[in-house]
Amino acid sequence: MCESSMAEITVEDAAHGYVEMLHRLGVDYVFSSPGSEFIPLWEHLARYNSEGKKPFYLNIRHESAALSMAKGYYMASGRAQVLLTHVLAGLLHGAMELKAAYTDQIPLLLMVGQNRTHDGEVYGGTPGPPYLSFTEVGGQQRLVQPYVKWGASPETNANILATIQRAYQIASSEVKGPVLLSVSRELLFEKTDTMRLPPKYVLPTPITAEPKVLHELKEMLVKAENPLIYTRYLGRSHGAVASLVELAELLSVPVFETPGYMNFPTNHRLHMGTSVSPYLKEADLLLVIDSSSWPPWYPPGSIRGSTEAKIVFMDIDPIQLKYPTYGYPADLLVKADSGVAIPQLVELVKAEKLGEPMVQARGERWAAEHKRIRDELEKKALAVKDETPIDPRWLSYCIDQVIDENTVIVNETITHGSMIHQYIERNRVVPGTRYESTGPVAHTGLGQGMGIALGVKLADPDKTVVALEGDGTFNYNPVLACLGASQEHGIPFMTVIYNNGCYAAMKGHARYYPEGHSVTRDQYYGVSCGPTPHYAKLVEAYDGYSETVEDPKEVKPSLLRALKQVREGTLTLLDVRLRQ
């Protein structure tokens, strides 16, 4: 391949130019649940990969698994990837995960096949009657338009490389999100020997607040007697974690979190766990950083009955444009990338003369509270260590005992989610060790956890990746596709099923019908998840290691055995039977 002075490249055909453009954009992987329209791309991807050139191609057996893998890869690496899905059916198979990527601000480029001609008019067209069935009036992109940041259906290859680059640039710019290109077979199969290259792109500079707004926030923090900080997804920027630690230490401000990512080191004296509610009454300032999509209280207006504290939101999108209704009150909205704004805030605070006795006393008080919280959690777990069926607190406590900072936890549980956030934290002392697959930014639907775990492991192969699944969420996952991807591509990870034999989160009947049929007859529709199958046998079919655990004395030993297996490169699963 050569590049001319007219900014053109010599190619074997159009698909060759597509692959070269992805290579120049620095794309690592193309994830694909196959559709025959992509044969030209496969041809050139195979050649590039045989030469050791990116992007590498990964065949995945279901679109939802492919999209979740791309999501997990981005969460762990910070680099957007490319997906190929079959015309219409493939797009709809991945629609929930596409919506999840949109809500969770995950950049990716989704290329969906299509066909424009059906009577021999153009080479590459007329592929067969199924493709005629998959045509959609108005174009298939309209079916998912609300869940993509930008989309196009190119008509020509004359500027297609510029279109691909623009799509990737838009996906990677704030607010980040998925983009869609509907690419026809006719364009993919087109014969050509030159294609026009676009000028190299740059990304917009990061978003930060104007100086007077940061000055106002600094004044609020310095003057507050009992400030609190809460975050959910600040840790998607690894650099922001260190800056938040510095800010918290300067002012002895406690940090609370729901760990969508690893946001603040859990072994730090100012880390106060997940529940900010008990401390709101005495607070005079609540700074919510990167959590405006899911603040730590609900209903939105209820906060005003709990505290008189000033409320400040800092976020790329502090008013949440994607929500039709919102209603969370605030005294100051700071539109900014926390990875940029917090270091600026730190420098402003450093220039102030702080009341050292007050800051020191506040720090000592919160350090004591940090220890009290951990001691109380440990006491509760040890109190139930011999209970049968196994208590989920004991399972969570044991998981925490056997992991380290080289372990990544991918959580996809509902009923046990808060407990897992509290107990499983030993690894959360460095960035990149925790991901919430039900939605790091906001709740985005179940069935993503195993795919995200695969993507995280692919991005960070030296880490031990553990997916935590409820038995309900496990059933929502494309389990066979994920186990198959692990086996086929050599991506070992470990799954622990919190198996309570039901959809416990659905058991809210008594709240609305306290004397109703469900309560009086013990007949709870929507709750059953049984009879419970032998989930462990699924992994055996993919040459994996598995155990079913029912004895509380075997919880820690079984975890250690499974961790040994996965660290040696074997796909593993533990089905832990819990009390309801």
Is residue 471 exposed (0-12), middle (13-18) or buried (19+ Cβ within 10 Å)? buried
Helix H or strand E encompassing 558 = helix 555-567
Of 491, 486, 496, 435, the closest CA to residue 77 belongs to 435
Domain 384-577 has CATH 3.40.50.970: yes
Are 110 and 85 a contacting pair, CB within 8 Å?
yes
Q: How high is the pLDDT of residue 4?
A: 46
Q: Residue 509: CB partners within 8 Å, gap ≥ 6?
A: 516, 518, 519, 524
Instruction: Enumerate the β-bridge partners of residue 194.
Output: 10
Q: How high is the pLDDT of residue 510?
A: 81
Of 563, 254, 196, 174, the closest CA to residue 400 belongs to 563
In the structure, how many helices (H) and strands (E) does the chain have?
21, 19
Are 288 and 295 a contacting pair, CB within 8 Å?
yes
The secondary structure of residue 322, as a DSSP letter, is T
Instruction: Enumerate the β-bridge partners of residue 380.
Output: none
Q: Rounded CA gap, 32 and 157, in Å?
A: 22
Given the structure tokens 């974690």, which residue do they identify?
241
Instruction: Give me 439's structure tokens.
Output: 């939605």
Q: Please state, in angstroms and as integers, the Cα–Cα distance from residue 23 to each residue in 20, 49, 71, following that order.
A: 5, 11, 20
The upper half-sphere exposure of residue 317, i.e. CA atoms within 13 Å in the direction of its Cβ, equals 17
Task: Decide: helix, strand or coil at residue 334.
Answer: strand
The secondary structure of residue 481, as a DSSP letter, is H
Instruction: Give me 289's structure tokens.
Output: 């950083």
Strand order in the sheet with 150-152: 56-59, 29-33, 81-85, 108-114, 178-184, 150-152
Of 112, 158, 165, 102, the closest CA to residue 136 belongs to 112
pLDDT tens per residue, the chain (580 residues)? 555 445 999 999 999 999 999 999 999 999 999 888 999 999 999 999 999 999 999 999 999 999 999 999 999 999 999 999 999 999 999 999 999 999 999 999 999 999 999 999 999 888 988 888 888 898 999 999 999 999 999 999 999 999 999 999 999 999 999 999 999 999 999 999 999 999 999 999 999 999 999 999 999 999 999 999 999 999 999 999 999 999 999 999 999 999 999 999 999 999 999 999 999 999 999 999 999 999 999 999 999 999 999 999 999 999 999 899 999 999 999 999 999 999 999 999 999 988 889 999 999 999 999 999 999 999 999 999 999 999 999 999 999 999 999 999 999 999 999 999 999 999 999 999 999 998 899 989 999 999 999 999 999 999 999 999 999 999 999 999 999 999 999 999 999 999 998 887 787 888 889 888 988 888 888 888 888 999 999 999 999 999 999 999 999 999 999 999 999 999 999 999 999 8
Are 60 and 71 a contacting pair, CB within 8 Å?
no
Of 98, 111, 92, the closest CA to residue 188 belongs to 111
Q: Rounded CA gap, 410 and 394, in Å?
A: 19
Q: Rounded CA gap, 205 and 108, in Å?
A: 19
C-alpha of 396 from chain center: 21
The secondary structure of residue 199, as a DSSP letter, is P
Instruction: Establish whether domains 211-367 and 384-577 are of one fold.
Output: yes
Are 366 and 237 a contacting pair, CB within 8 Å?
no
Q: Rounded CA gap, 337 and 79, in Å?
A: 17
Q: How high is the pLDDT of residue 1?
A: 52
Alpha helices in 78-138 (DSSP H): 89-93, 95-103, 129-133
Measure the N-to-C terminal CA separation of the chain; round to a whole number of Å.
62
Helix H or strand E encompassing 231 = strand 227-231
**Cα–Cα–Cα angle for 56, 61, 67, rounded to 5 degrees:** 65
Q: How high is the pLDDT of residue 5?
A: 47
Q: Rounded CA gap, 197 and 410, in Å?
A: 40
Of 517, 477, 509, 512, the closest CA to residue 495 belongs to 477
C-alpha of 290 from chain center: 14
Of 114, 154, 150, 110, the closest CA to residue 131 belongs to 114
Q: Please state, in angstroms and as integers, the Cα–Cα distance from residue 29 to each residue in 80, 81, 165, 261, following that order.
A: 9, 6, 16, 23
Domain boundaries, the chain: 8-196, 211-367, 384-577
Task: Decide: helix, strand or coil at residue 362.
Answer: helix
Is residue 569 exposed (0-12), middle (13-18) or buried (19+ Cβ within 10 Å)? exposed
Q: Residue 191: CB partners within 8 Å, gap ≥ 6?
A: 13, 14, 123
C-alpha of 239 from chain center: 18
Q: How high is the pLDDT of residue 574?
A: 98
Superfamily of domain 8-196: Thiamin diphosphate (ThDP)-binding fold, Pyr/PP domains (3.40.50.970)
Is the peptide bond preceding residue 175 cis, with omega within 30 degrees of 0? yes
Query: What is the C-alpha R_g of the chain?
Result: 26
Q: Domain spanning 211-367: which CATH class is it, in words?
A: alpha beta
